[in-house]
Copies of this chain bind each other. A is one copy, B any other.
Amino acid sequence: MPFTFENHHNVVFGDCDPAGIVYYPNIYRWMDGTFQRFLQQYGGHAAVCEHLGAVGLGLMETHAKYRRPLKDGDALTIRMEITEWSAKSYRLIHRGYVGDDLAFEGTEVRALFEHRDGRMRAGEVSRLKTYLESRSEP
């Protein structure tokens, strides 16, 4: 069963740099924000972590390809999907569209961080998957 979410952002002047196009770290903010809004359906990042005894659902790796510049006034739609579950990480794809045009395509590889033996470690992610599945067929 796929985990997907669709998010929207109206690009504004302040998202852009002196070349007049979106400053690229903002694209990562919108990717992360889309995942966080997905989690809000399950109570939000803090509630999910508390349920799982985790510290955070942080990042191991991120990547993006920029296909088309984004500008002030663009109505951006971001479509997220969790595409892969490994033992200690899971992979999300985020695609940003303005109308039918693909503006960017990004990947987040996330973990489930726990405190163990006095340091932060990546734990098994299967229980996150199980938890999300148990909540998504009400």
A residues within 8 Å of B by Cβ? Answer: 10, 12-21, 23-26, 28-29, 32-33, 36-37, 39-40, 44-46, 55-56, 58-66, 69, 72-73, 113, 120
Question: A59 touches which one: B12, B15, B24, B62 (CB < 8 A)?
Answer: B24
Within the oligomer, what is the number of copies of this chain?
4
Question: How far apart are A109's CB and chain B's nearest CB, in angstroms?
Answer: 9
Complex: how many Å from CA A64 to CA B46?
25
Most buried by B among A14, A44, A73: A14
Q: Are B66 and A60 in contact (CB under 8 A)?
A: yes
* B40 & A72 in contact (Cβ 8 Å cutoff): yes
Evaluate contact between A13 and B36: CB separation under 8 angstroms: yes
Q: How far is the CB of A98 from chain B (nearest CB, A)?
A: 14
Q: A14-B23, A60-B66, A61-B65 are in contact. Are A40 and B120 (CB under 8 A)?
A: no
Q: A15-B33, A16-B18, A18-B72 are in contact. List 18 more A-B contacts (CB 8 A).
A: A12-B33, A13-B17, A13-B32, A14-B29, A16-B17, A17-B17, A19-B56, A21-B56, A24-B32, A25-B26, A25-B28, A25-B29, A28-B28, A40-B72, A44-B72, A45-B72, A62-B63, A62-B64
